[in-house]
Amino acid sequence: MTIDLDSVLELHPQVAVRPEPFGALAYHYGNRRLIFLKHPDVVRVVQRLAEHSDVAATLGACGITPDRHDSFLAALASLQKSEIVRERIVTC
């Protein structure tokens, strides 16, 4: 699946995020995957995905400049593949 700025994501409810000096550890209790989030900006974005209407709004709220969006979209795609983040169901 491709992640774009209009994607609506959230941290998977079975994932715990533990802050570390380098960023954070994300552990998925369902599939037992441990993922290193190697930058504090990535941690902040992942933790705030559910607070905003889409990825673009989350990146903006976290102060991520447009020149960094592609790297964050790639990171989110990888995190979705690992089931750390998932598509959020939007109800009207």
The topology under which CATH files domain 9-87 is: Outer Surface Protein A; domain 3 (3.90.930)
Domain boundaries, the chain: 9-87
Q: Nearest CA to 55 among 90, 91, 20?
A: 90
pTM over 0.75: yes
Confidence (pLDDT) at 89: 82
pLDDT in tens, 47-75: 999 999 999 999 999 999 999 999 999 99
pLDDT in tens, 19-35: 999 999 999 999 999 99
pLDDT band at 1 (very low <50, low <70, confident <90, very high): low
Question: Which pair of structure tokens corresponds to residue 67?
Answer: 């020149």
DSSP symbols for 53-73: SSHHHHHHHTT--GGGHHHHH
pLDDT band at 2 (very low <50, low <70, confident <90, very high): confident
